[in-house]
């Protein structure tokens, strides 16, 4: 008997009928002798509806109150799913994040989990009950309801799996696996049976929407085997078949990863980026902090950073932010930073995209960057910025070339082949 945490996304619980199907799937795993904890998202579109209501009253809603509102979508889902399980004769109990208790910091709408008290859930499991826990939410030290940001239910599920020392965390979504790239862009994209946490973390951070990046960080840190599965398959498919489907995200030392990895595992892309350039700033120690410090203080994440070679005591610094943070970041730089550092100009471009190739094989194979750059050059695609890690190369380019870049790189690295 294994302890399984199952997470279901908004599409998976988007209607009453789909909630019934989730209940049938959970009941099937219970009937096979497994202990199950379920973490559902809000019904598809519900969080957007709630945020829209708040913005009708305040264009920039108070962050604390917005979290109170946004967290109610999951509260509805856990109650409905507990009822559906009860109708099948499965003992179930619903919980909000604050009831568990999922303790977070106080960064409303972007909170991070500090700890989870799993005693209540473990007691339910020992009693033969299925706990149904609201994802995406928690409570801070002052008793305020908090949310973890978009995709936060993935993080909730993996964090619960870590706290309970679960045997596996299963992420049920509307895709059936992790692919070498988005099949909607490249129909020949290959399903991966296994992938390392390190590769999955890079793919998630570079734009792959299959898993939320913080959930992968949690899974890797606490070594929680995590499987991506489709919730749109027949809920009565056998447990044996389902347990070996999808993509298993695991560790390099795991026997599943024993065979030599392909040089490149996947191509990720992100069109939700914007580039900002601060022109002619003094080329002196501390200038990068003077520019990026106020951005960090506003809780805005910075991605790719490039500082040009200085000339005549001046330099340019460019960086990327999420497109949703673009206007705020520009305002901070023009109002707070530019008068302070006396730069010539602050400019921006919200029509850029980032394309990345990821693979453990980069550690032992030379020439990956050269092949990537040559492939893009042959298509006349100009590279604006470059960022690298041990197993990743990312380039920033014009948004209109993004899909072409993904297709030609996928073909150049022969990712359609097993």
What pLDDT is attached to residue 309?
77
pLDDT at 261: 56
Q: What is the Cα–Cα distance from 84 to 169, expressed in whole angstroms? A: 22
- Render pLDDT for 306-316 as a digit per residue (tens, 0 to 9): 988 777 888 99
Domain boundary among 254, 287, 318: 254
Beta strands in 79-150 (DSSP E): 92-95, 102-104, 113-116, 130-133, 137-139, 145-147
Q: What is the CATH number of the domain that holds 323?
A: 3.30.2130.10
The per-residue pLDDT for range 64-118, each reduced to its tens digit, is 999 999 999 999 999 999 999 999 999 999 999 999 999 999 999 989 999 999 9
- Statement: residue 58 has pLDDT above 80: yes
Average pLDDT on 211-220 reads: 82
Q: Same domain for 307 and 405?
A: yes
pTM of the full structure: 0.80
In a domain, 203, yes or no: no
Q: Determine what percent of the chain is predicted with pLDDT higher than 70.
A: 96
Sheet holding 35-40, edge to edge: 92-95, 130-133, 35-40, 3-8, 168-173, 226-230, 247-250, 194-196
Over range 357-376, report the average pLDDT.
Answer: 89
Question: Is the pLDDT at 351 greater than 90, yes or no?
Answer: yes
Q: In the chain, pLDDT over 90 holds for what percent of residues? A: 71
In a domain, 201, yes or no: no
pLDDT, residue 260, reads: 43
Asked if residue 35 belongs to a domain, the reply is: yes
pLDDT of 354 above 90: yes
Mean pLDDT score across all residues of the chain:
91
Residues 326 and 219 in one domain: no
Structural domain containing residue 41: 3-175+210-254
Alpha helices (H) along 189-286: 197-205, 213-222, 239-242
What is the reported pLDDT for 197?
A: 86
Residue 201: band (very low, low, confident or very high) from pLDDT cuts 50, 70, 90: confident
Is residue 186 one of the residues assigned to a domain?
A: no
> What is the residue whose two structure tokens read 């960064």?
107
Does residue 8 lie within any of the structural domains? yes
**Mean per-residue pLDDT for 284-298?**
93
Cα–Cα distances in angstroms (integers) from residue 38 to residues 42, 88, 121, 163, in the given order: 13, 15, 11, 14
**Mean pLDDT across 192-199:** 88
Is the predicted pLDDT of residue 185 greater than 80, yes or no?
A: yes
Is 20 within the bounds of a domain? yes
What is the pLDDT, as a whole number, of residue 20?
97
- Final residue of a domain: which of 201, 230, 254? 254
If asked whether residues 248 and 289 sit together in one domain, one would say: no
pLDDT, average across residues 356-385: 91
Judge whether 148 lies within some domain: yes
Q: Are residues 249 and 272 in the same domain?
A: no
Same domain, 244 and 373: no
How many other C-beta atoms lie within 10 A of the C-beta of residue 60?
Answer: 8
Indicate whether 205 belongs to any domain: no
| 3-class secondary-structure state, position 208 | coil
pLDDT of residue 262: 65
CATH number of the domain encompassing residue 87? 3.40.1160.10
Same-domain pairing of 246 and 380 = no
Look at the chain and report how many structural domains it folds into: 2
Shared-domain flag, residues 220 and 298: no
246 lies in the same domain as 276? no
Name the domain boundary from 254, 285, 310: 254
Same domain, residue pair 48 and 84 = yes
* Whether 229 and 304 share a structural domain: no
Q: Please say if the pLDDT value at position 254 is more than 60.
A: no
Q: Are residues 274 and 312 in the same domain?
A: yes
Locus of tokens 């979508």: 73
Q: Decide if pLDDT at 258 tops 50.
A: no
Strand order in the sheet with 113-116: 113-116, 102-104, 137-139, 145-147
Could you give the CA distance from residue 368 to residue 161 in angstroms, rounded to a whole number? 36
pLDDT category, 283, cuts 50, 70, 90? confident
Is residue 283 domain-shared with residue 248, that is, in the same domain? no
- Average pLDDT over every residue of 221-244: 90
């Amino acid at each position: 008997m294994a302890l399984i945490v199952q997470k279901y996304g908004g599409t998976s619980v988007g209607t009453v009928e789909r909630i019934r199907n989730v209940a049938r799937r959970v009941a099937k795993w219970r009937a096979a002798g497994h202990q199950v904890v379920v973490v559902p998202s809000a019904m598809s579109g519900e969080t957007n509806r709630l945020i829209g209501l708040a913005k009708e009253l305040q264009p920039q809603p108070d962050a604390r109150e917005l979290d109170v509102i946004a967290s109610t979508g999951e509260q509805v889902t856990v109650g409905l799913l507990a009822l559906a399980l009860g109708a099948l004769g499965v003992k179930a109990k619903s919980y909000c994040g604050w009831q568990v208790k999922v303790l977070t910091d106080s960064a409303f709408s972007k909170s991070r989990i500090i700890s989870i008290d799993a005693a209540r859930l473990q007691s339910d499991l020992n009693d033969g009950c299925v706990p149904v826990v609201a994802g995406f939410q928690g409570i801070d030290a002052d008793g305020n309801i908090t949310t973890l940001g978009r995709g936060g239910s993935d993080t909730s599920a993996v964090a619960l799996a870590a706290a309970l020392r679960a045997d596996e965390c299963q992420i049920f979504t509307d895709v059936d696996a992790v692919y070498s790239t988005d099949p909607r862009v490249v129909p020949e994209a290959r399903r991966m049976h296994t992938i390392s946490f390190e590769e999955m973390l890079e793919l998630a951070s570079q734009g792959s929407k299959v898993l939320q990046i913080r959930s992968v960080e949690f899974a890797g840190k606490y070594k929680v085997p995590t499987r991506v599965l489709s919730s749109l398959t027949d809920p009565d498919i056998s447990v044996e078949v389902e347990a070996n489907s999808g993509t298993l995200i695991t560790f390099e030392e795991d026997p599943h990863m024993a065979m030599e990895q392909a040089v490149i595992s996947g191509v990720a892309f992100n069109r939700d980026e914007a580039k900002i350039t601060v022109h002619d700033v003094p080329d002196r120690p501390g200038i990068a902090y003077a520019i990026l410090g106020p951005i960090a203080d506003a809780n805005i994440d910075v991605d790719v950073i490039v500082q040009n070679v200085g000339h005549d005591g001046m330099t340019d610094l460019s960086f990327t932010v999420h497109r949703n943070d673009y206007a705020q970041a520009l305002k901070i730089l023009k109002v707070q930073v530019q008068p302070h550092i006396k730069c010539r100009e602050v400019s921006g471009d919200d029509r850029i995209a980032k394309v990345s190739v990821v693979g453990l094989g980069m550690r032992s194979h030379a020439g990956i960057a050269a092949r990537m750059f040559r492939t893009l050059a042959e298509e006349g695609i100009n590279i604006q910025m470059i960022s690298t890690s041990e197993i990743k190369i990312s380039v920033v380019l014009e948004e209109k070339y993004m899909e072409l870049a993904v297709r030609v790189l996928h073909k150049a690295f022969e990712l359609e082949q097993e």
